[in-house]
Amino acid sequence: MPLPPSSSAASPARRPPSEAGPTPPATAAPGNDDAVAPRAAAREPADPGREPGTPGAEPGRDAGPDASGGAADARPALSTAGVLPVRHRWPWPGAAPLTSVLVVLTTIAALEMLRASGPLLDGVAVRHGVPWAALTAVVTFGAAALAGPLTWWVGSREAVLLSVCGLAVLRLVVQFPAARGLLTVSAAVAAALIALLLVLRAALGTQDGPAWVARAVALGVAIDLAVRLPLDLWDPVWRGGPIGWSVALLLVLALSGAAWARYRENASVPMPVTAQLAVAGPVLALLGVFLASPAFLASQGGMSQSSAGMWIAGGVLLGIAGLSLPQLPVAGPVAAVALPVVVLALLVSPPLLAGPLTLLALALLPLLLTRAVTLREAGRRRTALLGMTLAGLGCGLGYVAVVLPYQAHYEMPMPVPNAVFPVLGAAAIGWAAWTASPPARPARAVAPLLTAGVLFAMPPLSGALSPAPHPLPTDTADGSYRLLSWNVHYAVDRDAELVPEQILSVVRDSGAHVVVLQEVPRGWPVAGGTDLLAWLENRLDVTAVWAPAADRQFGNVILTSLPVTESHSRSLPRSGGTMGRSYAVAEIELADGLTTRVATTHLQHDDARDTRLVQLGTLLADHREEPFSVLAGDFNAEPGSTEIDTVLDAGFRSAQDEAGDPDAFTAPTHDPAHRIDWVFGSEGADFEEFTVLDSTASDHAPLTVTVIQR
């Protein structure tokens, strides 16, 4: 019911349950939203009728009747749950407050900044080791704990405005390549997490807050996907050019504009203290790296990138729609148990099940998020300083706990399989949902569902307008063809920039008929979630022979526009190595009825000679059954080593020694000192014009050679 006119000392009836009770002038009452320090009290008088840190009463809006008997308080009445009712505004009639729009925008920005951090943290690992990269990640993501001190220092409304505008500024800064480094991206990641947590907290202060939080996060995922799919997962932050800058500027303007509009519109929105928002960390990890990653699903399920996008779209739509359906009492506990089981199955199941499992997990996640962020009684007794500090720390470290060991496992093996970590993240979400009180049934909302549906129609339409791919050369007169072999280092250059366009340029400019690549990423976090294989296939009309290695998101590939008559890929023994290795073989038809059998591999790195020899044993056994004409790749072995002598003793010859400069190094490109990339030929294959190309798109140099098949 409408509230009576307020005076300078508001009635306790106006305050949400978490803020009920008298408040001493310079201290926070138990359960009060913000803990007001003496310094803050000195700046502004305590007012038990409003949230500490918010501006004072405004005439005709937040004040009671004036001296002449003016109008009563113009703010809307609080609901029985102690929150402001939803205000209707386009395009969300009868649905979402402006704060939900901010949740959508900050979710988009957070997902992009989290992806941008992957290559930079990998750069730290390459230069200084995995422990230093882990420490950097903990500091960067743990900085989200500053959400608490920021709220305490300036107040909740101002904290939302400052954090979102700070995120907008940093997002614009990192769009400049010269300014995009470890420090600026780390700051942008921390700002994104802080802004997201504070905006989520603000959204919980509105009617049906938990449900709108889940809807808005899902819609942010939908927009992120709708933008990235037409760009072949090359994020605007790396892309640059008119497209990259347009998307970046649009996001920056939307963030700052929505934050300012909300600040001006909502004079005093109650904000619950919500330490349980820490669940946002595992949620972002599962969405960004696994469930809402088209590259991950495409490689995990052996499907096209567009098909992966459709499975993800279906899951997001089901998740949004499910929040408007009647909820059975057992729905929450069942979903809490089901999510980790589904995530585990996704990571270990056959490719055929990857799509349905992803759809199911995405359908469950909004329901669990709605329950997990529902305010607990314990949260009402926390101050904003403590509650939001715990939420920020849990969110940042929760993300790190899922993603970091999962990725670092391939350089520093963990005592358990790396699939355990995303499963634990899913279990943490399930536990948070299980232990929460069931939320009130949310109102039906059609607008988010329709919006997501329209967004997911955009990628297929834009894909239909994309130019047709161009084939590699196919003229192989006299049985000769050009071969390119290259370790592309996830398409990440020395400056930790994602450079798939440079990889494509080298491939095209080389004039190669057959291209063999190693360290090809298909959704790894260290590659920013990019699918390099799909990127190349969408621009080159080629047949691809893919050999997954460490997992299905990393491996070797053979690309050619010539007819492939037979192909296979197999795993190599791990034999004490840090990660699984593989090789791919393709029998390719040349002119005049000739065929060539090309194989590519990538052997274990570091000081692991015995491991490499075991892997070579498997590779050469296959060669003895059906001889390879050419064997190329990254052998991680120098001239004169036991490994190279083993290959030569098997009847192979080195192309670089026969047709190039034997003294030319192949890695690293910024300071060449090693020759570890090789092209070998067996009887019946001759070499001409071997060249070590000059390119900084990877830490390895591309090798090209003309092969004459007899």
CA-CA distance, 268 to 274, in Å (whole number)? 18
CA-CA distance, 626 to 184, in Å (whole number)? 53
- Give the strand order in the sheet containing 564-572: 564-572, 581-589, 595-602, 630-634, 677-681, 653-654
* Positive or negative torsion for Cα 49, 55, 61, 67: positive
Query: Helix 384-408 vs helix 130-142: angle between axes, to the nearest 10 degrees?
Result: 150
Tell me the average pLDDT of the chain.
85
Q: Which single residue is written with the structure tokens 């909004």?
A: 366
Q: Which comes out higher in pLDDT, residue 265 or 237? A: 237
**For residues 255-275, average pLDDT:** 79
Cβ partners under 8 Å of residue 481, min gap 6: 513, 514, 562, 590, 596, 706, 707, 709
Residue 62 has pLDDT above 90, yes or no: no
Q: In this predicted structure, which of 41-50, 147-156, 383-392 has the lowest mean pLDDT?
A: 41-50
Rg (CA), the chain: 29
pLDDT given for residue 99 in this prediction: 87
Q: Which single residue is written with the structure tokens 């071997």?
A: 690
Confidence at 269, pLDDT banded by 50, 70, 90? low
String of DSSP letters for 441-505: PPPP--HHHHHHHHHHHHHHHHHHTSPPPBPPP---GGGEEEEEEEE-GGGB-TTS-B-HHHHHH
Identify residue 43 by its one-letter amino acid code. R
pLDDT given for residue 209 in this prediction: 82
Q: Which comes out higher in pLDDT, residue 38 or 142? A: 142
Identify residue 402 by its one-letter amino acid code. V
**For residues 559-582, average pLDDT:** 95
CA-CA distance, 276 to 395, in Å (whole number)? 9
Q: Which comes out higher in pLDDT, residue 48 or 461? A: 461
> Could you read off the pLDDT of 408-441 as tens digits, one per residue?
999 899 999 999 999 999 999 999 999 877 766 5
C-alpha 64, offset from chain centre: 49
Query: Helix 305-322 vs helix 447-464: angle between axes, to the nearest 10 degrees?
Result: 170
Q: Which comes out higher in pLDDT, residue 446 or 567? A: 567
DSSP letter at 291?
I
Contact 486/696 with Cβ under 8 angstroms? no
> Could you read off the pLDDT of 326-369 as tens digits, one per residue?
777 778 899 999 999 999 999 999 999 999 999 999 999 999 99
Contact 525/118 with Cβ under 8 angstroms? yes
Cis upstream peptide for 548 (omega within 30°) = no
Q: Where exactly are the structural domains of the chain?
A: 98-464, 480-709
pLDDT given for residue 603 in this prediction: 97
Q: And the tokens for 183? A: 């420090």
Q: Provide the 3-class DSSP secondary structure of residue 122.
A: helix
String of DSSP letters for 273-288: --GGGGGHHHHHHIII
Domain 480-709 sits in CATH at 3.60.10.10
End-to-end CA distance of the chain: 91
pLDDT given for residue 23 in this prediction: 40
Q: Which single residue is written with the structure tokens 């005709």?
A: 60
pLDDT given for residue 424 in this prediction: 98
Q: Which long-range contacts (CB under 8 A, 24 or more apart) does 605-612 make?
A: 605/578, 605/636, 606/578, 606/636, 608/576, 608/577, 608/636, 609/637, 609/641, 609/642, 609/643, 610/575, 610/576, 611/573, 611/574, 611/575, 611/576, 611/577, 612/636, 612/637, 612/643
Q: In this predicted structure, which of 122-136, 265-279, 363-377 has the lowest mean pLDDT?
A: 265-279
Residue 63 has pLDDT above 70, yes or no: no
Q: Which comes out higher in pLDDT, residue 3 or 244? A: 244
Fold exhibited by the domain 98-464: Growth Hormone; Chain: A; (1.20.1250)
**For residues 316-331, average pLDDT:** 83
* Dihedral angle, C-alpha 55, 59, 64, 65, nearest 10 °: 170
Half-sphere exposure of 203 (CA within 13 A, CB side): 32
**For residues 206-212, average pLDDT:** 80
CA distances from 648 to 59, 123, 611, 657, 680 (A): 88, 34, 18, 12, 8
pLDDT given for residue 87 in this prediction: 43
> Could you read off the pLDDT of 486-511 as tens digits, one per residue?
999 999 999 999 999 999 999 999 99
Cβ partners under 8 Å of residue 153, min gap 6: 40, 159
**For residues 289-318, average pLDDT:** 94
